[in-house]
Homo-oligomer: A and B are copies of this chain.
Amino acid sequence: MSLSTQVNAEGKESNETYTRHADDTVKLRNTNIADMDRDILYHIALDSGIQNLPQMFGDVRFVCLGGTPKRMEKFANYIMKEIDLKLPTGATLLNISQRSYRYAMYKVGPVLCLSHGMGMPSIGILLHELFKLMYHAKCKDPVFFRLGTCGGVGIEGGNLVISQKVVDGYMQPFLDMAVLGQLHRRPAILDQELSEELSDLRMKEDPFTITQGTTMCTYDFYEGQGRLDGAFCEFTEGDKLTFLNHLHDNHIVNMEMESLTFAALCHHAGIRGAVVCVTLLNRLHGDQVAESKEVLEKWQKYPQILISRYIKKHLNIKPN
């Protein structure tokens, strides 16, 4: 805890000395890794002792994470068209982490697309291994995005939320972890410039609004988000609405299950990160995700559209 507090107090410049080499490649806050002959990235099925990771991944600049393998495979194919990258005849995108059976990973030129599963522990394992991958591959100043789904608080389904702050289920802006049996607290801080830049990429004709605000990140989908429709429910509808209105009054605009770990680990690693989620419903009006598969599929493309614009801008590709 001493280190993260210290860095936090000293500000960005000091954070960079811990997380960047002079040539802008990623430096790890763990000197053990440099001493290992071989680092097995078990959950993404890569191995620094067997594979030439700098050759395979050295050009990665954008890392895009989303919940399900299918959504991220679709995103990979979408971004391939958007950045006009063509595979040789007879080739197709490969799920690079297929052998792990845990996460799916697709690489489209400088864009890495991965599924992170559900919940903070699942995205946490992935981030540890991706930060190590960035280090082994000598990637320069990569930027990370979570493209997610969420429940809106006062926002109707089918709109985007860009997280400015993230809080836990007790409204604290920290990731609390047990390390060697002791409480370890990391601030969950997202890159404000990046959030602003993403927000500015909205176009007048977009079918969605964009709200910047605070995200509540929980460990549970049912009781943890005040739903009445879980297997257990020991509060009333009145209790629930009091809670949701309290969140609304405190500028909490959505709820999901991964952003706290994403923000805390990216910040600690000195990696720029942003969270862009589409709302699947307005929690002030209900609990069940009841839209048709077709509508949900359409909405889940909205974060992809925005992130694609960002990537194209930074690759100097003209917008459509």
Contacts and interface: CB of A to CB of B under 8 A. Distances in A.
Contacts of A121: 118-122, 218-221, 257
Given A42-B288, A125-B222, A229-B32, A180 B239 contact: yes
Interface string A275-292: 000000000000011100
How many copies of this chain are found per oligomer?
Answer: 2
Nearest to A237: B32
A268 to B, nearest CB: 6
Nearest to A45: B293
A220 B124 contact: yes
Interface string A238-279: 011001001000000000010000000100110000000000
A309 interface: no
Interface string A165-185: 000111100000111110110
Interface residues of A, number: 75
Given A39-B229, A117-B122, A269-B231, A224 B179 contact: yes
A317 interface: no
Nearest to A67: B102
Interface string A64-75: 000111110000
Contact of A229 (B36, B70, B102): B36
Interface stretch (A78-86, A126-134, A192-200): A126-134
B3 A234 contact: yes
A201 interface: no
Given A40-B288, A42-B289, A122-B122, 8 more contacts: A29-B231, A43-B118, A118-B125, A121-B121, A135-B231, A177-B224, A179-B226, A231-B269
16 contacts: A28-B232, A30-B233, A32-B229, A32-B233, A36-B229, A39-B288, A40-B289, A40-B290, A71-B101, A118-B125, A121-B218, A132-B231, A135-B231, A170-B183, A180-B240, A180-B243
